[in-house]
Chain A
């Protein structure tokens, strides 16, 4: 039986063999691998791209103090982007499951409709959740729009939920019982984060300061967005740094949400604030890419 990290190695190798860049996780907090610039920005524009990376994804509201066997504040996604999507993409995907040791002829695989939408990113796509013996193990999406921009080359996004997938492969009932590497359990590596961040996110994060920080990052982002038009050498312009500000805002929004500080009425407004930043940044990136081409 493969350990957590061995399964990750195998998936990375599999996509390496299919021409993907193997990236390392992004170093700003994100709620999903999709939000990394490697996906959000790279899917824009006419340049083909193939990349795979593990991305720890933070969802403050999903924290359960380490008490729930299946819910995590931070989980690991293995994200694959193939742009444009190859014709045999679903077969390639099934091949990746064989590569991590599943004999598909002995299992039940179903592709069930599940379209993806992220209001804060102005992004949506068409796709499925992939069910393996009744367990959702992957989200598969053909992106249609990102940052409010229709995509020229439709990418396929494959997002493996690593904890669920490996818990399945190892036959354990709690993610904390996953063998990370020989003699080391998932709980040994991660339980402390789950507990402490749940305490912080739900009980101790300073709401007023979070609102102020959100305002500060938003101001930084807006200021940058406004400077692009008159900036003489577009290729030097820090669009990537602008995008980091969007990610900060998005994470702060999630924290405030977990803290119960955003009323349902306010929610729509804050989502729109973040989306405006994301859409604005996507436009700059698309423009800058045209200059490259």
Chain B
């Protein structure tokens, strides 16, 4: 039998719908041949192939042992509500076989659906009927269609009775449409509801493409779940507004109005926009005109902000930052500015880098940033350029919030990289100093993102600063954690390789990256993992012997054969490794494997003569320390490990 459930609601926030659909698809009842769909006003499950009834079943209840006598058997039978004759002897025990008749799936669904519907988890819920003890959902539920073929599955929730009546588009459709499983989707379509998100997305994609929109998949996704019947239209604005920075125009269009922008040539805005309506068309052009008017007002605001802001240069705004709190315990943005300037100086930044650092937060006092918060930094950069600051200063200010995410770009200039680094480091140092450290999922000052930014800049810009020079204590550990995350999750190195390289040392991150690259390259060669296993063995031997390295190796104590041969190769490889690339050096070290194996095969480390024993331990110790400067091989997980 075919099942249809439609939960009719008032408009659900677009960004929550995909998550709700995922949950509905994962309800055990609906696993298998089900289809989930949604618009802002309806969550829908369709399932083909329910049985009419669940199968009849037999339940076996185990009774007392036969040896317990008739009284025990009678007691068991009485408790089960049957006569003694109903029991059967199976082996040494009594048993009762009960027939459990199958149930109508319709009844099971009627019982289960309210729980399934209210079981959907939402980021934020509301109550709307029955006070705070009433049902909670994302928005009020206004109707429910629940059908098994053409029969209603009867239940009630939040005062709404299930039925076979759906509703069309708020304006263009009928408010009362009887449906069956088979007619449902087509009836909706007739009433200007495109049920399938994929079809709405395709319609938007095709129409905006035809109208020349600049692609923007996130915005398409938003509009897919804000509309039941999306239709794109193109509008125009006065080309005079193109004098305003493209960043400002795009932000207004995208974030405030959910419009796509149009480019005349790549990177150059054209005086048009594309809006997606929740209706079938705009034959009289009223919607187009309305949107054009709104956009004009918004652009006028932006122009007003730009003009007002030019009355006071960025440089003259820095002092005003004393009124803008960075963080209660860490003072104002003026104080932060002073710290960033100092830090850029310490990092060896040029005069331009320091100038950028001095100006970088001044845009926080502008009307433009107060209105378009997302444009902080960018506005400062644009104003700096407009006010005649050197291009490298303007660019550094513009970029200094980058990278905005793990995938985001880092600042493109050296000055920008230094200011961005200093800004983030200052935030991290300050917050750690006053105990504002992220715990679990709580990270109100976005310190993880700041730390990730620091790591990404250091690696990708190949900056010559060592971790220990930038951070100490808990912050060093915090950054180390982010460094591991970065190389593992973003660059795709294996976790043990990352651990091995960082256990050896953490100098500059560019160096860490080269060592990792070399290690990952040598990892699959046949000698490497066995050698790593031997290193682990050496480490254990030294540990068990409580070895304290204080003696210099005495060559005269070396035994001819495997021991002397190992020493000779050790010296050769050590000297070669000092001048080789990391990759070559690692290859050389790996080539020691036969020598090391032979040594362990033939030579007894635990010699009777204490001097010989100590000399052997010294040899092993030297081997371990000399060859652990690229990576600590004992961190490598080999096939012999159980991790």
Residues of A in contact with B (beta carbons under 8 Å apart): 68-71, 84-85, 87, 90-91, 94, 104-113, 115, 126, 128, 132-135, 142, 144, 150-154, 168, 171, 173, 260, 263-265
CB pair B11 A150 closer than 8 Å: no
Q: Which one of B85-93, B126-134, B241-249, B609-617 contacts A?
A: B126-134
Q: Are A265 and B297 in contact (CB under 8 A)?
A: no
Flag whether B255 is at the interface (Cβ < 8 A).
no
> Contacts A133-B291, A265-B325 given: A110-B296 contact, CB under 8 Å?
no
Q: What is the bound-complex CA distance between A153 and B289, given in angstroms?
A: 41
**With A and B bound together, what is the CA distance between A68 and B371 in angstroms?**
14
Q: Does B103 contact A (CB under 8 A)?
A: no
Q: Decide if A134 touches B257 in the complex (CB within 8 Å).
A: yes
Q: A69-B300, A105-B172, A263-B325 are in contact. Are A154 and B287 (CB under 8 A)?
A: no
Contacts of A109 in B (CB 8 A): 170-171, 278-279
User: Which 8 pairs across A and B sit closest by C-beta, in order of nearness?
Assistant: A133-B290, A113-B13, A264-B325, A108-B277, A111-B11, A134-B291, A126-B126, A150-B132
Once A109-B171, A134-B275, A154-B127 are accepted as A-B contacts, the answer to whether A265 and B290 lie under 8 Å apart by CB is: no
For B279, the chain A residues whose CB sits under 8 A away are 105, 107-109
Across the interface, do A110 and B124 meet the contact criterion of CB distance under 8 Å?
Answer: no
* A265 partner, pick from B15, B132, B328, beta carbons under 8 A: B328
**A133 to B257 Cα, complex, angstroms:** 10
> When A126-B124, A154-B129 are in contact, do A134 and B290 touch as well, CB less than 8 Å?
yes
* Cβ-based interface call for B293 (8 A): yes
Given contacts A90-B170, A108-B282, A265-B328, 9 further A-B contacts (CB under 8 A): A70-B300, A71-B301, A91-B175, A106-B286, A108-B277, A108-B279, A134-B257, A263-B323, A264-B325
**Looking across the interface, which residue of chain A has its beta carbon closest to that of B259?**
A134
Known contacts A70-B297, A263-B323, A264-B324: A90-B10 contact under CB 8 Å: yes
A-B contacts, 19 listed (Cβ < 8 Å): A70-B301, A71-B301, A90-B10, A91-B175, A107-B287, A108-B277, A109-B279, A110-B227, A126-B139, A133-B286, A142-B140, A150-B131, A150-B132, A168-B290, A173-B296, A260-B323, A263-B323, A263-B325, A264-B324
CB contacts (< 8 Å) of A108 on chain B: these are 275, 277-279, 282, 287, 290
Interchain nearest-CB distance for A101 vs B (Å):
12
CA distance A115 to B175 in the complex (A): 27
The answer on a CB contact under 8 Å between B286 and A135 is: no
CB contacts (< 8 Å) of B284 on chain A: these are 106
**Which residue among B127, B290, B301 has the maximum number of chain A CB atoms within 10 Å of its CB?**
B290
List of B residues within 8 angstroms of A106 by Cβ:
282-284, 286-287
Instruction: Tell me if B577 is interfacial: C-beta within 8 Å of chain A.
Output: no
Min CB gap A231→B, angstroms = 29
> Does the CB pair A107–B296 fall under 8 Å?
no
Chain B interface residues toward A at CB < 8 A: 10-11, 13-15, 40, 124, 126-129, 131-132, 139-140, 142, 170-172, 175, 226-227, 257, 259, 275, 277-279, 282-284, 286-287, 289-291, 293-297, 300-301, 304, 323-325, 328
Q: What is the minimal beta-carbon distance from B64 to any residue of chain A, in angstroms?
A: 55
B213: min CB distance to chain A, Å: 16
On whether the beta carbons of B170 and A84 are closer than 8 Å, the reply is no
Which residues on the A side are within 8 Å of B295 (C-beta)?
A: 134
In the complex, chain A residues whose CB is within 8 Å of the CB of B325: 263-265
- The answer for the CA separation of A28 and B241 in the assembled complex, in Å, is 42
CB-based contact A111/B131 at 8 Å: no
* Cα–Cα distance between A151 and B131 once the two chains are bound (Å): 6
Number of inter-chain CB pairs below 8 Å: 107
Select from chain B the residue with minimum beta-carbon distance to A154.
Answer: B128
| A132 touching B301, Cβ below 8 Å | no
Determine whether the beta carbon of B10 is less than 8 Å from that of A111: yes
Contact at B226–A112, with CB atoms within 8 Å? yes
Per the bound structure, the CA–CA distance linking A71 and B296 in Å amounts to 14
Chain B residues, CB < 8 A from A105: 171-172, 279
Question: Is there contact, CB below 8 Å, between A85 and B128?
Answer: yes
Return the contact of B294 from the options A126, A128, A135 (Cβ within 8 A): A135
Q: Are A110 and B226 in contact (CB under 8 A)?
A: yes
Q: Which residues of B contact A150 (CB under 8 A)?
A: 131-132
User: A133 vs B11: C-alpha distance in the bound complex, in angstroms?
Assistant: 17
A115–B123 Cα distance when bound, in Å, is 13
Given contacts A68-B301, A107-B286, contact A115 B124 (CB under 8 A): yes
CB contacts (< 8 Å) of B293 on chain A: these are: 135, 168, 171, 173
Question: Do B11 and A128 touch (CB < 8 A)?
Answer: yes
In the complex, chain B residues whose CB is within 8 Å of the CB of A104: 171
User: What is the CA–CA distance of A153 and B133 in the complex, to the nearest angstrom?
Assistant: 11
Chain A contacts of B129 at CB under 8 A? 84, 154
Chain A residue with the shortest CB-CB distance to B291: A134
Q: Least Cβ distance of A59 to chain B in Å? A: 15
CA separation between A106 and B233, bound complex, in Å? 14
Chain A positions within 8 Å of B171 at CB level: 94, 104-105, 109
User: Which residues of chain B come closer than 8 Å to A70, judged between CB atoms?
Assistant: 297, 300-301
Query: With contacts A107-B290, A133-B287, A151-B131 known, is A87 near B142, CB below 8 A?
Result: yes
For A144, list chain B residues within 8 Å (CB). 126-127
Q: Is the CB of B294 within 8 A of A173?
A: no
> Cβ of B275: which chain A residues have Cβ within 8 Å of it?
108, 134
Residue pair A142, B126 in contact (C-beta under 8 Å):
yes
> Given the complex, which residues of A lie within 8 Å of B11, measured CB to CB?
111-113, 128
Residues of A within 8 A of B286 (CB): 106-107, 133
Task: Tell me which residues across on chain A come within 8 A of B170, comparing CB atoms.
Answer: 90, 94, 109
A256, B284: Cα distance in complex, Å: 48
Give chain A residues whose Cβ lies under 8 Å from the Cβ of B297: 69-70, 173
Specify which chain B residues have a CB less than 8 angstroms from the CB of A84 in the assembled complex: 129
* Separation of A151 and B129 alpha carbons in the complex (Å): 10
Specify the chain B residue showing the minimal Cβ separation from A114: B13
Q: A residues within 8 A CB of B300?
A: 69-70
The chain B residue sitting closest to A64, CB to CB, is B304
Contacts of B296 in A (CB 8 A): 173
Tell me the bound Cα distance from A150 to B286 in angstroms.
42
In the complex formed, the residue of B with least CB distance to A85 is: B128
Which B residues touch A110, using CB under 8 A?
226-227, 278
What residues of chain A lie closer than 8 Å to B10, measured between beta carbons?
90, 111
How far does the alpha carbon of A94 sit from the alpha carbon of B40 in the complex, in Å?
A: 17
Give the residues in chain B near A71, CB-CB below 8 Å. Answer: 301
> Which one of A112, A150, A265 has the highest number of Cβ atoms from chain B below 10 Å of its Cβ?
A112
A113 cross-chain contacts in B, Cβ below 8 A: 11, 13-15
